[in-house]
Amino acid sequence: MPIKSRPIYPGLKLDQRARRHLVAAEGEGALAVLAIFEGKGDAAASATIVYTPGGSAGEDHAEKLADLKPDALHVMPSQETAIVRLNGLLGNAAMGTRLYAAGVEGFIGKVIASGLEHGVDHQSIYTEHCGSLARRVQCVHCKGMTENVTATPFTCSHCGLNLFVRDHYSRRLAAFQGVVVDCETPGELPEIEELYR
Amino acid sequence: MSGGVEIPVRVSRVEQATATVKRFSLEAVSGEPLPLYSAGSHVVVTMAAPDRKIKNPYSLIDRAPDGSTYRIGVLRTRDSRGGSAFMHERVEVGTELSITMPVNLFPIVRTGRKHILVAGGIGVTPIYAMAEELRRQNLPFELHYAMRDAASGAFADELVARHGDKVRLYRDDAQEIIAVDRILWRQPLGTHLYVCGPEGMIDAILAGGREAGWPDENLHSERFMAHVSGEPFSVRLAKAGVTTEVRPDQSLLEAIEEAGVDAPYLCRGGACGQCETAVLEADGELMHHDHFLTEEEHASGKKIMTCVSRLKGRELVLDL
Ligand code: FES
């Protein structure tokens, strides 16, 4: 059953009219970036790429991105540092700059949230989902974020409550909502289901 | 719903802003304050001409702080088919009209970080209101206003007085044209552009925006098309079981209303989509003038926007 509030990522597409391309990629998202700039030297020359290898650290994606000869390539150690760098770039960007995001869902969500903060409409951001289907979930009780949630219910990494993952996605927080499941009889949990089957 | 609640109003003041533009202040007949609205809104004014009712959309310029009046600006168009001529010739202080609740199809985007307002001619009316709202909220904006000559810039002096160097004026008679690429150059990310004016100008500005790599989400326009008159034809409303004539000086929508059938509308300018109606049969060629349906939909001949489009032929049968 398709999840209604779950965001849809139509895939990266090079916007030929854009004057500049600001590309944020995580892990396997690098492959989507390579695909759209393949053979497009001019476009690559006006692209700034922020890349964090994530789980793909063993691969040589960063070198391949460098081979595109982008205007600038920033390889960052984590999603957080990548987003900080992206925010700096967005703060100085002019209209005519198109924003792209590729990688795991949590990362795309953070890029979209950064875009929104800089006045970029989420509909004008190109996105492609690559890699793990894990969700980022916010516990509605302690407000703590747990990354890489792949099953429901799960245990909140902050307050330890058993949380059910609701299909409600907050674009601002770039996270799904987790709500306690066993408040009546603590410890009595429904069967654990894997997300996304 | 066809415009919804109507508010009876009385004209309390008429200003001759230029040779061709009059501004009308409207107050509620009931004496109550008029509803608050957001900048970019319009109302549809119903005028009771001797032989028929004319309904035209006009953008709201402003609302008195105490809500006692709204102001609208009306350009006397040369080929006016009734509405603007009626406003110019027959409406004076004391005339009673009726207006719909304000509707906003041209709102300021709240998440925008900067706003560029572009107006041509009478298209300045919603832009005027938007500049005022942006000023009140202390948001960054610039305003570009093109007019025929100094005498036709009804709002130019007031705009400059209120917003100073945020306003740039362009006069056609001095060969000053709005250079889209210059305006759009180096605008910060999150800037939105709003344009209202003649068709050709809107198209040029929007094309310039796309050319500069601006996404559609940041380009906004409002077109109030003058009614398109044409040849007479007859229309049969299948559900209502009514057949009536559409006169040359009348829109299809007006003819439907005159026949006593309540048809949906909001903008009466071919932009909002509210008046979309299914065509059951057409003995003739559909003359589409709207900006809402896609080209394929126009070609399919299955739909018509009653507020601006018509038939060139004998009879049109609608699912109404
Ligand atoms: S009333 Fe808006 S398109 Fe006809």
Select the more confidently predicted residue: B183 or A6: B183
> For residue B78, is pLDDT > 80?
no
Same domain, A117 and A45: yes
CATH number of B114-222: 3.40.50.80
CB contact under 8 A, A94 and B210: no
Q: How far is the CA of A135 from the centre of ligand 1 (A)?
A: 43
What total number of domains does chain A contain? 2
Domain boundary among A129, A152, A177: A129
Question: What's the pLDDT tens digit per position in B101-134?
Answer: 998 989 999 889 999 999 999 899 999 999 999 9
Q: For an interface test with B, which of A17, A95, A99, A121 has the most B Cβ atoms less than 10 Å from its Cβ?
A: A95
The CATH superfamily holding the domain B233-318 is: Beta-grasp domain (3.10.20.30)
Q: A11 lies in a domain?
A: no
Domain boundary among A108, A129, A150: A129
- Domain holding A146, by residue range, is 135-194
> For residue B50, is pLDDT > 90?
no
Over residues A60-80, the mean pLDDT reads 96
Same domain, A110 and A60: yes
Tell me if chain B has a CB within 8 Å of the CB of A88.
no
Residue ranges per structural domain of chain B: 6-104, 114-222, 233-318
Same domain, A141 and A120: no
Going by pLDDT thresholds of 50, 70 and 90, the confidence category of residue A196 is low
Residue B221's pLDDT is: 94
> For residue A1, is pLDDT > 90?
no
Q: A6 lies in a domain?
A: no
> For residue B224, is pLDDT > 80?
no
Q: Give the nearest ligand 1 atom to B292 CA.
A: 3
Closest CB to A121: pick one of B184, B188, B218.
B218
Same domain, A29 and A115: yes
Rounded to two decimals, the ipTM of the complex is 0.76
Residue B226's pLDDT is: 61
Mean pLDDT of chain B: 91
Q: How far is the CA of A28 from the centre of ligand 1 (A)?
A: 47
Tell me if chain B has a CB within 8 Å of the CB of A46.
no
* Domains B114-222 and B233-318 agree in fold: no
Give me the CATH number covering residue A102.
3.40.50.80
Over residues A137-166, the mean pLDDT reads 90
**Which residues of A fall within a CB distance of 8 Å from B216?**
124
Q: How far does A112 lie from chain B, in Å, by closest CA?
A: 13
CATH number of B6-104: 2.40.30.10
Domain boundary among A129, A156, A186: A129
Q: A5 lies in a domain?
A: no
Same domain, A98 and A39: yes
Over residues B20-25, the mean pLDDT reads 94
pTM for the full predicted model: 0.82
Select the more confidently predicted residue: A67 or A55: A67
Same domain, A122 and A140: no
Over residues A41-45, the mean pLDDT reads 94
Same domain, A117 and A148: no
Going by pLDDT thresholds of 50, 70 and 90, the confidence category of residue A3 is very low
**Which residues of B fall within a CB distance of 8 Å from A48?**
none
Going by pLDDT thresholds of 50, 70 and 90, the confidence category of residue B80 is low
Residue A197's pLDDT is: 36
Over residues B2-18, the mean pLDDT reads 87
Same domain, A104 and A124: yes
The string of DSSP letters for chain B reads -BS--EEEEEEEEEEE-SSSEEEEEEEETT-PPPPP--TTEEEEEEEE-SSSEEEEEEEEEEE-TTSSEEEEEEE--TT--SHHHHHHHH--TT-EEEEEPPEESSPPPTT-SEEEEEEEGGGHHHHHHHHHHHHHTT--EEEEEEESSGGG-TTHHHHHHHHGGGEEEEEGGGT----HHHHHTTPBTTEEEEEES-HHHHHHHHHHHHHTT--GGGEEEE--PPP-----EEEEETTTTEEEEE-TTS-HHHHHHHTT----BSSSSS-S-TTEEEEEEEEEEEE---SSS-HHHHHHTSEEETTT-EEEEEEEEE--
Confirm or reject: Cβ of B256 under 6 Å from ligand 1. Answer: no
Q: A14 lies in a domain?
A: no
